[in-house]
Amino acid sequence: MTHEPAGIEQKTQAFLDRQNHRMLIDGQWVDALKNKRMQVVNPAEETVIGSIPSAHSDDVNKAVGCAKAALEQGAWGKMRPSGRQNLLLKLADLIERDARIIAELEAIDNGKSAAIAQAVDIGLGLEFFRYMAGWATKIEGSTLDVSMPFAPPEADFFAYTRREPVGVVAAIIPWNFPFLMACWKLAPALAAGCTVVLKPAEQTSLSALYLGELIAEANFPDGVVNIVTGDGQSTGSALITHPDINKISFTGSTQVGQLIGRAAMDNMARVTLELGGKSPMIVLEDCDPEKAAQGAAVAIFFNHGQTCSAGSRLYVHRSIFDTVVNRLAELAEAIPMGPGLDPAAQMGPLVSQVQLDRVCHYIETGCQEGARLVTGGERADRKGYYVKPTIFASEDDSLVIAREEIFGPVLVAIPFDDVDDVVERANDSRYGLAASIWSNDLSQVQRLIPRLKAGTVWVNGHNMLDSNVPFGGYKLSGVGRDMGKQSLDSYLETKSVFMAL
């Protein structure tokens, strides 16, 4: 069944009509100095819908210089915490006002459902700005009692710590949640008093540029947030190697994360890395098969599987394996596919031709490795980078498709007999981003949670996120945490002050 895409908001159309978008440096909307541009592609139509500047190292140097000046010389560095709080709250209100417009830009640029993006991506993003606005006024150090055993008894001291913004932040984000990732980086950095140079993914820069307009409208001082567009090779690498960057906050692939971690150490820039995953979902014997199947559908097919915490390895107790997998296949086959602007569509195209090829290659690999294809396994027969929701079943979890991150709507279901065995297999991965356990056996669940090597363990749910709950990985899934107070802390330095009285 096909659906006619709904019309878009006037403001969305007006934004798109500009075609040749500009980037934000020091409060000014500018082209790249060398005037190079990159195409913006609508993945549902496979059409070019505009262009963005391709920033060169000169542009990046300018942006970093402005961010540094805004921190050290401008009004931002002198602003009281409540001033930052109020700006963040104002920005959240503007995001709420324009939530539909941002969601439509996400749908057109990334392919995801505008309705889902408005509720989830934009909803979580604006809520996170409000959450972090609250922290801006609650940053505190501590007073420290000192002993100084070698000092004479009459000597007196006073020591305390103060928390200070870490400095100029480079934020580099991926294309899977373009707007939400920008919020995850900007909100804590700004709450802490840092200034930022943000580089969105080349495939999906429009919502970040729109956010730049809202930042200007909210009246943040010039240079506090700079947004440079371009690819990772030139724009991204100029940013991560710049000596005036004090912290790099990155979300993306493990491969690029490793490269960024090494570059950060050259300048001793602080670094947080949110990287890939191959997250297991473990369904114990007592779980209602219907609940497990519904849960697995959300775990793997949300955002077309282009989710770092996607539940891409489904371990089900053998006694209910067939029931769960057959029901999951029914659910997968019933998912309405279509462009993000179609209100009935729940699954859109993958983000790009490159991603389509990558996912199709993994599907071929799975078939060649001898996994049983339960459903899907091919491109949808329509224009756009659509892949049918795909489920493989296999006894063998050493297959490539059961070990490598596919980042598409492809699941491997694996039966297990023994809980100790499934824990070992779930942990036998270079990744450790998330895991979920499905069971009402509280004792069993509580015993499993500490044994799973993952940054997040969900119980009877998957992909649950909240502003106050830290998110990040063990092992090759990353370093540090986004969200929660832990995220704010990663944008602060600790200064110790030690006085002889």
Q: List active site positions.
A: 274, 308
Identity at 381, one-letter amino acid code: D
CB of 431 to ligand NAP, least distance (A): 9
Q: Is 466 helix (H, G, I), strand (E, B) or coil?
A: coil
Find the binder of ligand NAP among 231, 244, 369, 404 (CB under 6 A).
231
Residue pair 111/384 in contact (Cβ under 8 Å)? The answer is: yes
CB of 423 to Mg ion, least distance (A): 40
Q: CB under 5 to 8 A by kind: which of Mg ion, ligand NAP, none does 109 bind?
A: Mg ion
Find the binder of ligand NAP among 136, 215, 308, 476 (CB under 6 A).
308
Find the binder of ligand NAP among 67, 108, 122, 201 (CB under 6 A).
201
Question: What radius of gyration, in Å, describes the C-alpha atoms of the chain?
Answer: 24
41 interacts with Mg ion by CB under 5 A: yes
Tallying the residues shown for the chain, one arrives at 501
CB of 207 to Mg ion, least distance (A): 10
105 interacts with Mg ion by CB under 5 A: no
What residues from 415 to 434 belong to the interface with ligand NAP (CB under 6 A)?
Answer: 433
CB of 41 to Mg ion, least distance (A): 5
DSSP state at residue 43: T
**Cα–Cα distance list, 168 to 186, 197, 240, 448, 457 (Å):** 12, 8, 11, 41, 33
Phi, psi values for residue 316, rounded to 5°: -125, 135
d(CA 37, CA 406) in angstroms, rounded, equals: 29
Q: Which stretch binds ligand NAP (CB under 6 A): 106-114, 131-139, 172-180, 484-492?
A: 172-180
Closer to ligand NAP by Cβ: residue 208 or 391:
208
Q: CB under 5 to 8 A by kind: which of ligand NAP, Mg ion, none does 236 bind?
A: ligand NAP
Closer to ligand NAP by Cβ: residue 113 or 205:
205
Find the binder of ligand NAP among 121, 274, 342, 397 (CB under 6 A).
274
Residue pair 115/343 in contact (Cβ under 8 Å)? The answer is: yes
Residue pair 420/369 in contact (Cβ under 8 Å)? The answer is: no
Q: CB under 5 to 8 A by kind: which of ligand NAP, Mg ion, none does 231 bind?
A: ligand NAP
d(CA 214, CA 95) in angstroms, rounded, equals: 7
Paired sense of beta strands 478-479 and 270-274, if any: antiparallel
Q: Which stretch binds ligand NAP (CB under 6 A): 26-34, 48-56, 57-65, 235-243?
A: 235-243
State both tokens at 212: 């730049």
State both tokens at 83: 């001033």
109 interacts with Mg ion by CB under 5 A: yes
Q: CB under 5 to 8 A by kind: which of Mg ion, ligand NAP, none does 41 bind?
A: Mg ion
Q: Is 320 helix (H, G, I), strand (E, B) or coil?
A: helix
Rounded-to-10 torsion of CA 29, 32, 37, 41: -40
302 Cβ contact list (under 8 Å, min separation 6) = 310, 463
Find the binder of ligand NAP among 198, 275, 296, 483 (CB under 6 A).
275
d(CA 413, CA 192) in angstroms, rounded, equals: 43
Identity at 96, one-letter amino acid code: E
CB of 444 to ligand NAP, least distance (A): 28
CB of 267 to Mg ion, least distance (A): 32
- Binding site residues, Mg ion, CB under 5 A: 41, 109, 203
- Binding site residues, ligand NAP, CB under 6 A: 172-176, 199, 201-202, 231-233, 236-237, 240, 251-253, 256, 259-260, 274-277, 308, 405, 407, 433, 478
